[in-house]
Amino acid sequence: MSAPRDFVESLGMLTLDHRFKRMMQRLLGEADDIYRALGLPMKARWCSTLLLLEEEGGLTVTEVADRLRLSHPAVVQILEDMASTGLVRKTQDKRDGRRRLLSLTAKGRRWMPVLRRVWDELERAQAEAFGATGCDMLAILAAADAELDRKSVSKRVLDRVRGSGFQGLPQARLPRGARR
């Protein structure tokens, strides 16, 4: 019996967001499987945050969110999860008592060499899988990010819809946070 047709794939560029999310979930799930199998106190979503804190340390949630280009609530959740394992701690900023600074704990620093070895292998495996396509995925992602920074998808669509004389649509507005 053959596998059923991938309906989302058959829809092409229209469902690119769905395909990216599906791929992201797959990659995160496989990385989490690796960490569990090796008994590491790690989740896939923490990698970039740990590396940033290792490199720079003493950052606020807002600074982490800005540097990783993630939402503030997403970073708060990631950091709470990381803190619960003892890898990250919050300390009060001595210069501004309202701010909390985030940094790796001694335990977090001890785990970094082990995690780096696993990440090296993970990076190699991902390069093999994506390199098999014959495309430079990092270059493609960088170019797409730059193009979306230049003009968002929402702006492109709304400009086309408004300019084409569509009838019967309510007055369309850009969603909050969409780039013009």
Whole-prediction pTM: 0.81
Please state, in angstroms and rounded to a whole number, the distance separating the CA atoms of residues 103 and 77: 15
Token look-up 């701010």 returns: 99
Closest CA to 48 of 122, 99, 110: 122
> What is the per-residue pLDDT across 102-142, written as a single tens digit (0 to 9) for each?
999 999 999 999 999 999 999 999 999 988 888 888 899 99
> What is the per-residue pLDDT across 48-96, written as a single tens digit (0 to 9) for each?
999 999 999 889 999 999 999 999 999 999 999 999 999 999 888 778 7
Tokens matching residue 171: 């007055």
Instruction: Confirm if 68 and 28 have CB atoms less than 8 A apart.
Output: no
Q: What residue segments make up the domains of the chain, in order of their start?
A: 7-134, 136-180
Give me the architecture of the 7-134 domain, per CATH.
Orthogonal Bundle (1.10)
Please state, in angstroms and rounded to a whole number, the distance separating the CA atoms of residues 30 and 1: 26
